[in-house]
Amino acid sequence: MADEWACVASVMLAIVFAHAIGATMVGWAAFSAFILLKSDTAETLLRGTMRIIGTLLGSALALAIVPYAAQSLPLQMIAGALIGALGLYGMLTAKRGYGWLLFGLTFEMILFDKIERTDLDTYGFARTRLLEVIAGTAACTLVSVAVGLWAGRRWWTDRKPAGGRMTWNPTAARHAAQAGLAIATLPLLHALVGLPQLSQAAVTIMAVMIVPVTGIGASGLVPVSRRLLYRALGCMAGGALALGVLLAAQGSVPVLIAGTCLGIVIGRHIENGLPGVTYLGLQFTLAVIAVLVPDSYADAQIGPGVARLVSIFVGMAVLEPVLLTWHFVAPGRKETSRVTDSASGE
């Protein structure tokens, strides 16, 4: 319960910070505050630092490439595939994998938002995204330090050894290439049939592909499909709770805030208490935050939750055929079905 209420405090503080520094996407600050908070304060601080650095580097690369790539379908496909695959490969193999993940995710979000909204101010988008990450990181770090001091933990001396440097791993490279191929189809399908929710679909593809390298197996079909299922179920359950709160609140800010707190506690409880479905608990909470933490409480609506669910199905529709094709191309290799769902992802 202490951890669950620490998450509530972290998210609430992130909302305050986001408004104070002028971030325009408050929900993303709340996302960051929830995702980053760990019981180990040193780990929280490290992950927060990696999130800021990854976001900064991904934004810088996007500002340099996206204005040109957005004008050419082949460049959109190549840029999305290469940077997405690189970010995922770094997440799976690098010493500071979380930074690599945010590098890739940030680039993809800016690229695909620009593709869908040609009038998007990429500099303004990158700036507010960085502000939101800073707000969320500052909030969760302060809460984690306060909880650590209250519990008497000497977090500054209790540091876990870091992993090794990024090395070549053919299984991880194949897995990342599959994600890159799926991401490359998004701008093509958008051009052909007006496929929606490109940005969050790319995020879905990268996030569900985060599985331990030892559990990928022949194609990654089983562990990734499981994460896709949990992502969809968690989003639907969290969206249902958020819809109930919206209907009960009738515009009341205290009720919306209370509903947000309830959703955070439930989602974190699932993460902490049910090891087999921790990813479902994470997605439950993120769906609640997407709906109940708007940029302005006067604009709270179910739309963001529906959009998030649509993006999951879009990501599923382009990723599953890639995994299925590889699964049947390499029939002689057995797929591994035993894999933990505790890998970090959005």
Q: Which of 80-89, 113-122, 125-134, 273-282 has the lowest mean pLDDT?
A: 273-282
DSSP assignments along 140-155, one per residue: HHHHHHHHHHHHT--T
Sorting pLDDT into bands at 50, 70 and 90, what band is 156?
Answer: very low
47-79 per-position pLDDT tens digit: 889 999 999 999 999 999 999 999 999 999 999
Record the pTM.
Answer: 0.88
Greater pLDDT, 344 or 314: 314
Q: Is the pLDDT of residue 155 over 70?
A: no
Total residues belonging to the chain: 346
96: tokens are 């500071």
* pLDDT at position 139: 93
The residues, any chain, with a CB within 8 Å of residue 32's CB and separated by 6 or more, are 14, 48, 51, 132, 133, 135, 136, 137, 140
Look at residue 40 in the predicted model and tell me its pLDDT.
78
- Rounded-to-10 torsion of CA 161, 137, 231, 270: 80
Give the per-residue pLDDT at 218. Answer: 75
Determine the pLDDT at residue 335.
Answer: 43
**What integer best gives the mean pLDDT of the chain?**
87
Q: How far apart are CA 280 and CA 30, in angstroms?
A: 18
* Residue of higher predicted confidence among 340 and 233: 233
Mean pLDDT of 194-206: 93
Question: Is residue 227 pLDDT above 60, yes or no?
Answer: yes
pLDDT score at 338: 40
Query: Where in the chain are the domains?
Result: 2-329
Q: Which two tokens stand for residue 55?
A: 């976001």
pLDDT band at 1 (very low <50, low <70, confident <90, very high): confident
Contact 87, 100 (CB under 8 A): yes
* Residue 221: how many other CB atoms lie within 10 Å: 22
What percent of the chain lies above the pLDDT cut of 90?
A: 60
Q: What is the DSSP letter of 334?
A: P
pLDDT at 332: 44
* Spatial separation of the C-alpha atoms in residues 180 and 84, rounded to whole Å: 6
Mean pLDDT, residues 120-145 taken together: 90
pLDDT band, very low/low/confident/very high, at 330 (cuts 50, 70, 90) = low
